[in-house]
Homo-oligomer: A and B are copies of this chain.
Amino acid sequence: MDTELDDLVQALRCLPGVGGKSARRMALHLLERDREGARRLARAVDAAVENIGHCSVCRTLTSAETCERCLDPDRDDQVLCVVESPGDVMAIEAATDFNGRFHVLLGRLSPLDGIGPEELGLDRLEERLRQQGTEELILATNTSVEGEVTAHYLAEMAGRLGIRATRIAQGIPSGGELEYTDAGTLAHALSGRRDY
Name A residues whose Cβ lies closer than 8 Å to a Cβ of B. 1-5, 7-8, 10-12, 14-17, 22, 24-32, 34-35, 37-49, 51-52, 61-64, 67-68, 85-87, 90, 93, 106
Q: List 30 A-B contacts (CB under 8 A).
A: A1-B90, A1-B93, A3-B63, A5-B48, A7-B44, A8-B44, A8-B45, A8-B47, A8-B48, A11-B37, A11-B44, A11-B45, A12-B41, A14-B38, A14-B41, A15-B30, A16-B26, A16-B29, A25-B87, A28-B85, A30-B48, A30-B49, A32-B61, A32-B86, A35-B49, A39-B49, A41-B42, A42-B45, A42-B49, A45-B45
Identify which of A11, A16, A46 gathers the most chain B CB atoms within 10 Å of its CB.
A11
